[in-house]
Each structure stands twice: as structure tokens, then as C-alpha cells.
């Protein structure tokens, strides 16, 4: 699988690692406040993907 920026990599992370990664990306976005539109859009894109992955995990947490 590939995208306009190259190969797509699939990694496996635990629920807690997913939450940590999402939090870290949100902090990065807030802390650095990049003026570069392409960097901002890439970070936001990753955050959208992490949010979707987090939503996929949440129902399992309720039954666990």
C-alpha cells in the first residue's frame, strides 16, 4: 500500500500506547504551532487517524 508521500506502515500498539501516541501528537501540534501549512495538515491527518483508531478501541474497553 502506498500514498502520495510513500509507503504506508502498519504498527501494532496496545490501547494505552494508542492513547499515549494520540496525546503526544496533540501536544506536539499545540506546543510547536508550526506555521507551515503542510506540516499542520500532516499532523492533523495523523490525529484524525488516531482518533478513528481510538474510537474502534473504546467499545472493547467497556466489555473488558
Please indicate, yes or no, if residue 2 is contained in any of the structural domains: no
Listed residue (4, 13, 8, 16) closest to 58, CA to CA: 16
| pLDDT tens string 3-60 | 566 788 888 889 999 989 989 988 888 877 667 777 888 888 888 888 888 776 655 5
Report residue 63's pLDDT band, with 50, 70 and 90 as the boundaries.
Answer: very low
Number of domain units in the chain: 1
Please indicate, yes or no, if residue 29 is contained in any of the structural domains: yes
Helices of type H across 1-64: 15-32, 37-63
Please indicate, yes or no, if residue 7 is contained in any of the structural domains: no
> Could you list the residue range(s) of the whole structural domain that residue 19 is in?
13-63
Please indicate, yes or no, if residue 40 is contained in any of the structural domains: yes
Please indicate, yes or no, if residue 21 is contained in any of the structural domains: yes
Amino acid at each position: 500500500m502506498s500514498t502520495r508521500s510513500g509507503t504506508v506502515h502498519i504498527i501494532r500498539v496496545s490501547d494505552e500506547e494508542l492513547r499515549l501516541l494520540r496525546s503526544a501528537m496533540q501536544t506536539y501540534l499545540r506546543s510547536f504551532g508550526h506555521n507551515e501549512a503542510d506540516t499542520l495538515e500532516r499532523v492533523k491527518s495523523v490525529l484524525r487517524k488516531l482518533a478513528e483508531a481510538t474510537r474502534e478501541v473504546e467499545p472493547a474497553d467497556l466489555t473488558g
